[in-house]
């Protein structure tokens, strides 16, 4: 649920302004198309309402792709994806990160689901009520009226027959169904309304059948249920219903050849009739829409629309689709290949990092800097120091190390594929700690250090002093503790030192790795999605992520013959 909430919460919030933009564009087009016919306005409103669904769907898909491309998993869990990211793979890894970072998104998603459930229940109850009305009705077998309805159907070119039924308790004729349509006529109208007026109302209902309005109206109610929270959706839906009634009125008036007769029929319905049942919003009824406005239209028909007005719906649809694509395609960082520092600047901007440092590794010149001397948690960037301390002992990388329960207990707030009791070489554990940020592997490296964890901690302090890290504090070897803190300037010193270790440069830039242990093969991949990507010549890499540290990234990257050290701390998002 936390993973679902992460995406759904952002999509719902983004649609608040996107829906307003769609409504504003539709309103402007409708104002411009005032001389146009109801069909043109109806097309614009349909396109706008469809966009209200398409835009969030595309937005969600784009955000999911971002999660997939950036392996959005917490440190120590990113490496557990065994196949290219899928729905199941991505969502399985999200909860450990999303829940503590942004819990309100999950609550927002739950509130939306509750609202959708309530609206869906309302829709289902309306369908059940309408079905009950149909079952309680009786066939209208009057031969004269059957002939009239058949004649109207022929003029409207209906592709299939329509059943006529008399239903008690209704206040207006209604149409239900689209594959086997039925027109329900109130018993009071059959006996109390003049034949010409009743014929006009039936022509209106048959026009709805001809246009499959029951099906379109049903889809409209589904959209209302999904986007119940947005007033723009309700405004578009209401206007859509009004224009649908206008189109049916125009078709009925042309069919019977007497617009005034239909206007008199509608006026008769508006006088002294009871309020229709709530369930009839699913069906198409003759008294739907704004009756007074419909009567005025029939009595004073508008002039024929111009060609420009007829072309407007198609222009609006094309413009809307282009806007939807622009809204939902996330800006991707530009690869530095061929663009020099501009590509690095784009990456920095896309990350939204609060602390930034970009340095020319050869000259030491600072190219970009922002709050680089402020101390912040650094999460798994700690593992660069852990790797250097271990490698300083010139260890036998083929030495087997057993994963103990102590390693699991110390890293219980993270995920690892390495089971307790598994045995892996020291070189394998080093590789997993650097490439996929496996916390259990990093802890095992420190625990198996010559002299044990106390000796490792002493060596770690000595290494910090050797590198002159005056603003760095490291309490443990994995980075899980928020007490592990440093500055971007100190991290740049760490990267310069780590780049001199061939093992660190090699293992931190492996795109993926398969590790064989007694229980089977384990598949890992690099937590930095830029590693191995075309256009990026990365010499060293390490990522970090925790609720306290946000997203962190360090890289030694070669750009047009220059080696640049990049440090991003407290970033909002990982590079895609």
Could you give the CA distance from residue 139 to residue 134 in angstroms, rounded to a whole number?
10
The single residue of 171, 237, 268, 380 carrying the catalytic annotation is: 380
Strand boundaries in 345-410, DSSP class E: 355-360, 366-370, 376-377, 400-402
Which tokens belong to 416?
Answer: 């690892």
Smallest CA-to-CA distance from 77 within 401, 418, 386, 409 is with 418
Catalytic site residue 380? yes
Active-site hit among 172, 414, 437, 508: 437
Locate 2 and state its tokens: 């936390």
Query: Which two tokens mark 233?
Result: 């959706």
Beta carbons of 119 and 228 less than 8 angstroms apart = yes
Is 383 one of the catalytic residues? yes
SS (H, E, C) 450-513: CCHHHHHHHHHHHHHHHHCCCCCECCCCCCCCCCCEECHHHHHHHHHHHCCCHHHHHHHCCCEE
Find how far residue 139's CA is from the centre of its chain. 48
Distance of alpha carbon 196 from alpha carbon 202, whole angstroms = 10
Q: What share of the chain is helix, strand, coil (3-state, %, to 5)?
A: 55, 15, 30
C-beta separation of 197 from 186 below 8 A: no
Contacts of 513 (CB under 8 A, 6+ apart): 431, 432, 435, 436, 523, 524, 525
Chain Cα centroid distance, residue 310: 34
**Nearest one of 46, 144, 95 to 414, comparing CA atoms:** 95
Strands 284-285 and 376-377: unpaired
Write down the catalytic residue from 137, 351, 383, 546. 383
The residues annotated as belonging to the active site are: 380, 383, 437
């Amino acid at each position: 649920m936390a993973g679902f909430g992460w995406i759904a919460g952002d999509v719902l919030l983004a649609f608040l302004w996107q829906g307003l933009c769609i409504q504003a564009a539709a309103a402007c087009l409708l104002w411009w198309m005032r001389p146009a016919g109801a069909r043109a306005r109806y097309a614009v409103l349909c396109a706008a309402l469809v966009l209200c669904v398409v835009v969030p769907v595309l937005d969600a898909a784009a955000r999911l792709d971002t999660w997939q491309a950036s392996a959005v998993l917490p440190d120590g869990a990113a490496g557990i994806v065994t196949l290219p990211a899928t729905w199941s793979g991505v969502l399985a890894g999200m909860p450990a990160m999303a829940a503590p970072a942004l819990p309100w998104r999950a609550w927002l998603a739950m509130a939306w689901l509750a609202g959708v459930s309530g609206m869906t229940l309302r829709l289902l109850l309306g369908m059940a009520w309408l079905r009950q009305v149909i079952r309680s009705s009786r066939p209208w077998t009057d031969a004269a009226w059957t002939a009239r309805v058949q004649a109207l159907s022929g003029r409207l070119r209906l592709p299939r027959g329509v059943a006529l039924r008399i239903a008690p308790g209704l206040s207006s004729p209604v149409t239900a169904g689209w594959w086997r349509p039925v027109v329900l006529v109130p018993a009071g109208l059959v006996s109390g309304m003049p034949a010409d007026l009743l014929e006009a109302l039936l022509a209106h209902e048959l026009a709805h059948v001809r246009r499959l309005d029951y099906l379109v109206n049903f889809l409209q109610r589904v959209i209302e249920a999904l986007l119940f929270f947005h007033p723009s959706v309700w405004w578009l839906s209401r206007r859509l219903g009004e224009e649908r009634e206008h189109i049916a009125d125009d078709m009925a008036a042309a069919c019977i050849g007497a617009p005034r007769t239909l206007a008199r029929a509608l006026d008769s319905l508006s006088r002294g009739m009871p309020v229709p049942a709530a369930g009839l919003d699913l069906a198409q009824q003759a008294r739907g829409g704004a009756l007074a406005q419909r009567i005025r239209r029939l009595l004073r028909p508008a002039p024929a629309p111009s060609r420009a007005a007829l072309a407007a719906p198609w222009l609006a649809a094309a413009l809307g689709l282009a806007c939807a694509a622009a809204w939902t395609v996330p800006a991707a960082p530009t690869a530095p290949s061929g663009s020099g520092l501009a590509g690095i600047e784009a990456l920095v901007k896309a990350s939204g990092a609060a602390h930034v440092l970009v340095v020319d590794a050869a000259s030491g010149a600072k190219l970009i800097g922002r709050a680089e001397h402020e101390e912040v948690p650094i999460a798994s960037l700690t593992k660069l120091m852990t790797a250097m301390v271990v490698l300083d002992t010139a260890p036998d990388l083929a030495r087997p190390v057993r994963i103990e329960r102590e390693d699991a207990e110390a890293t219980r707030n993270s995920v690892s594929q390495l089971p307790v009791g598994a045995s892996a070489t020291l070189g394998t554990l080093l590789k997993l700690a650097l490439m996929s940020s496996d916390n259990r592997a990093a802890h095992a490296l420190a625990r198996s250090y010559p002299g044990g964890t106390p000796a490792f901690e002493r060596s770690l302090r000595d290494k910090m002093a050797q590198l002159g890290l005056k603003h760095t504090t490291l309490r443990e070897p994995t980075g899980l503790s928020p007490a592990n803190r440093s500055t971007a300037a100190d991290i740049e010193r760490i990267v310069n030192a780590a780049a001199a270790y061939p093992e660190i440069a090699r293992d931190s830039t492996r795109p993926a790795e398969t590790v064989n242990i007694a229980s089977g093969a384990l598949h890992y991949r690099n937590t930095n999605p830029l590693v191995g990507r075309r256009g990026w010549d990365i010499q060293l890499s390490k990522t970090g992520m925790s609720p306290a540290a946000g997203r962190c990234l360090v890289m030694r990257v070669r750009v047009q013959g220059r080696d640049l050290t990049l440090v991003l701390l407290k970033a909002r998002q990982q590079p895609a």
